[in-house]
Structures are given as structure tokens and as C-alpha cells.
Amino acid sequence: MATVLERVSEFKNEALIDFKDPANKAKMEAALAAVRAGGSATYDLIINGRRVRGAGTFKTSNPAKPSESVGTVQKASPAQAREAVAAAEQAFYSWSKVPAAQRAALLFKAAELTRARRFEFDALLVLEVGKSWGEADGDVAEGIDFLEYYAREMLRLDGPHPVTPVPGEKNAMIYIPLGVGVIIPPWNFAFAIMAGMTSAAIVAGNAVVLKPSSDSPVIAYKFVELLEQAGMPPGVVNLVTGSGSEIGDLLVQHPRVRFISFTGSKEVGLHINQLAATPQAGQIWIKRVVAEMGGKDSIVVAADADLDAAVDGVAASAFGFQGQKCSACSRAIVEAPIYDEFVNRLKKRVATINTGDPADPSVTMGPVINEGSLKKIESYVAEGKKEGTLIAGGERASGEGYYMQPTVIADVKPDAKIAQEEIFGPVLAVIKAKDYDDALRIANNTEYGLTGSVYSQDRSKLERARDEFHVGNLYFNRKCTGAMVGAHPFGGFNMSGTDSKAGGPDYLLLFLQAKSVSEKVG
């Protein structure tokens, strides 16, 4: 008789919506109008399935039009954060005993419901975090992929796993859930990463407290609402919104929290890791931290590269979603013989980027997430003008929102500040390498190790990079962003995190623990 896994179709990535189709364009415009019409709505905390008002409220706004509200959201109190942990612990005792096939079915249903509400989530991403139509839909498609992929992975990991036979014994290894987790996702992939981190934890049998970024809380609320519609029991995912300083540290340090799954900056990730490493009174385990942190990602352009392809790949990687991706190219390392020509072509390519309100489908680059981010980016650009030659951009772009021009600074030294520190905005440093050896040395000279790419038509150079370019996700002759679930398990080395490999066959093991069971027979 076929197993549940054998009856499930093979995983394949979700297709993107073609917005050139007039019908799809009309649906997206209607979704944007509907989300805008709901901007005065108030969103509660969700604790044990109940809607709860917090100690105060805050507004989440459209970064393209900061005067436009996307919703009013609760500020959870410390007491409510503790209540959410207690609710998750209560739910864990029953949810962990639900068969894996039923937990997987919840994710399959959630994927189905997301498809039905796809334009709504696309519109939320445009209005709450400033994504272009294409970037928004890629975010939602990736979220669907995570739901589908992790459901299948849990079915694969379910049940006893064979071990080496021992005469007179019946031995097996099984995977069991960890317990209560805290999920702290970022705003830059406000649907995909949030949904992926949450769904992986719960399909493995854990219960969680989801604390989303204060820049993207409405999207998280809508996802928890969707999980409830898919049949999720109360308490399995509890939503608390508010300040990280007020409730984030409390959740990380809570003695009944078994694991923390975090995606965000290096500084916050290290802080979480440090807090989690200190046992609290009543804590009986070493907490597990799954951390996806920053990057200072490089694209190496060898002297024999297809220059047009390299220029397009660098521009797409550097300025897609305003450079607000941990995988974004922030350093182009170019061999000396083609350096000047590369810079000239890149300057022309960047001039074609259309900056403006991403609610307009013709816009390819929208605002950065908030005023604080914009000021930080401006400070780096000011420093960069001293460290190199400004080729493009360098100023705020016009408009009400938090707009920054796509900025290219050439002739940057490998150890310059803008060549070493994560900026998280549309700023690219171009570095001249003497030769390919020098280019690889520069590519490895940061504290990070997330993504990288090499453009070369020389197979021996690509093979050298495979061995020597120390990043978790390495690409050849293509951009360094756009990892696909299943195809490109995602996670980095060094200060880029714990190499979690999201969207890969190892990921669910981070939310499980192995138990060996042996029985004497005969």
C-alpha cells in the first residue's frame, strides 16, 4: 500500500503571475484598491486563538506614501508575551501528537488558500513594504513553495528511520519536535520568510510565538488568519506584535522557549544568540538558535565574462527591491582589463531603472522601508563619496516616500567601509581586481559568507570558485539573488548565520530532535 508521501505529487516551484495579461493587471489593481480601503482597520494580537487588544497601538504605513496607513496594530505587553508562550506550551502537548500527515495537510491547505488570496498578499507587499509587482509576487510564490516543500519534507521524515541492524534487537531512530519556539522574521520578505519559518516549525510538531517586524505586521496577521482558516488549532501559532526591545528579549530569554528562529541583521542575531546561550531559572535545555543574518555579497566579473550578461546580473542583484535583500550584490569585483568598459556599461544600465511608487506597474524600484533606513543609507553614501568615485545616483529621489536613487560608487578599495559593512539599500561598490586570483581574494575578505556569483566563460575559473569562494549560495553566470525553494537551499557561512539552508532537505531537522529506540527481541 502506498505511503502518504508516495501519493503526494512531486514538488515543483510555483509559477509567477504574468501582469502583462490584462485580466491579471485588473485583479492586481482591484487588490491594491481593496487593501487601501482597509487601511483604517485595527489588527489584534492572537493568543490561543483569541483576538486581544494590547497595551497600546501603532500604525504601519506605506513607505511610498508614509501618510497612508496600512493598518493599526497592537503593542503587546510583557505579560501578554508571557501569556503567548504559555498558550503555545499548552497547544504543544496536543499538536505534537497529531500525526505528521495531518500537520502536512494543514500546510497543503494553507498553500491552496494562499493561491486563492494571492493578489491580496501581493498588494499587501506593495503597500506595506514597498515591493514592485514582480518582487511582491515572487515573495508570495516563494511562500507557497515553502508550504508545499516543508509539508512533503515532514512526510519524508515521519516514522522510524533504518539504522545498522544488530542481532537480537529491533532498532530505529525517530524524529520528535522540540517544543515551544519563537519566530522572528524580517520585513524584507514579509510573506515568504515569515511563512517559511513559521510553517517549518509547526509542521515539525512545535508550537510557536510569532513576533513579526513592526514594519510588516499586517501581512503576518493575515497569514495567521489564513492558517486558522486552514484548520490550525488555537495556540499553535500565537501572534504578538510590538517593540523588540519591550517583548523580543523577553521571549528569547523565556525559560519555556526551546528554540528561536530568526532572520535579520548581524547585530540583532548575535544579540539573540548571546541571550539564548544563558540559561534562565527553570530552564532544562540548551536553546537552539536558527539564525539567518546579513551579507556583503560579491559578484566577480572575470576578464573573459559576457559583459552584457554580467552588467544585467549585477544591476538586478544590486537594485532589485532597492537592494534590501541579504543576498543582494553590494560589491562588483571586476578584473582590470575590462574594468573601465564594465563601469561605462553599468552606468548606462542603471540609468534605465525607473524609481517611484511601486503601486505603478511600470516602476521597478520603489522606496526603502523607512526614514531611519534612508538616513543610514545616506550616511553610507556620504562616506562612499570619500572612498570612491560616484558614478550614478547618490541622492534621495523625488517623491513623498523614502526614495533613494540607485547608487554606484566605483574605484572602491577592498577594505573601504562601503566595501565591508552591510548597507541594506541600493548602493553598489565597484572594486578593481588586478587578476582573477586577486578577485577571489577580495571576494573572501569580509566577515560574511552568504551569496556570491562569478561571471566567466572559463570552466577552470568556475571550478576554482566552487572550491575557493566561501559562501553558502554560489552562482555561476547568473545573478546572486532569487534562490528557489528546493533548487537552491539558502543560508550562509561566517557572520551570515548558522547556514540554515531554508528550502532544502536539512531545514526541518533544525526544528526536530532525533530519538533512538531499541528493543530486545527473540
490 lies in a domain? no
Distance CA 54, CA 76 (A): 5
191 lies in a domain? yes
pLDDT tens, position by position, 172-205: 999 999 999 999 999 999 999 999 999 999 999 9
186 lies in a domain? yes
Distances (CA, A) of 73 to 32, 54, 238: 20, 9, 15
Q: What's residue 7's pLDDT?
A: 78
3 lies in a domain? no
- Clarify whether 326 is annotated catalytic: yes
- Read off the DSSP letter of residue 404: B
One domain, residues 407 and 286: no
One domain, residues 387 and 509: no
One domain, residues 375 and 406: yes
Tell me which of 14, 148, 326, 335 is the catalytic residue. 326
Residue 6 has pLDDT above 70, yes or no: no
172, amino acid identity: A
Distance CA 343, CA 409 (A): 10
One domain, residues 193 and 210: yes
One domain, residues 288 and 307: no
CATH of the domain at 110: 3.40.605.10
User: Hey, which residues does 474 pair with through a beta bridge?
Assistant: 452
CATH of the domain at 406: 3.40.309.10
514 lies in a domain? yes
1 lies in a domain? no
Residue 3 has pLDDT above 80, yes or no: no
One domain, residues 182 and 214: yes
pTM: 0.97
Q: What's residue 522's pLDDT?
A: 81
One domain, residues 320 and 442: yes
> Average pLDDT for residues 157-183, to the nearest whole number?
96
> Average pLDDT for residues 313-323, to the nearest whole number?
98
Please, which pLDDT band fits residue 5 given cuts at 50, 70 and 90? Answer: low
pLDDT tens, position by position, 291-305: 999 999 999 999 999
- Residue 277, classed as helix, strand or coil, is helix
One domain, residues 222 and 333: no
Distance CA 272, CA 131 (A): 28
One domain, residues 279 and 341: no
Do strands 56-62 and 65-75 pair parallel, antiparallel, or not at all (unpaired)? antiparallel
5 lies in a domain? no
One domain, residues 352 and 276: no
Please, which pLDDT band fits residue 1 given cuts at 50, 70 and 90? Answer: very low
- Residue 392, classed as helix, strand or coil, is strand
One domain, residues 450 and 335: yes
Tell me which of 292, 329, 335, 480 is the catalytic residue. 292
In terms of residue numbers, what domain contains 87? Answer: 21-293+500-518
pLDDT tens, position by position, 53-66: 999 999 999 999 99
One domain, residues 472 and 349: yes
> Average pLDDT for residues 33-51, to the nearest whole number?
98
Please state the separation of Cα 286 from the chain's center in Å.
25
Distances (CA, A) of 442 to 165, 332, 349, 415, 428: 50, 10, 25, 9, 15
Do strands 427-433 and 473-476 pair parallel, antiparallel, or not at all (unpaired)? unpaired
494 lies in a domain? no
Count of domains observed in the chain = 2
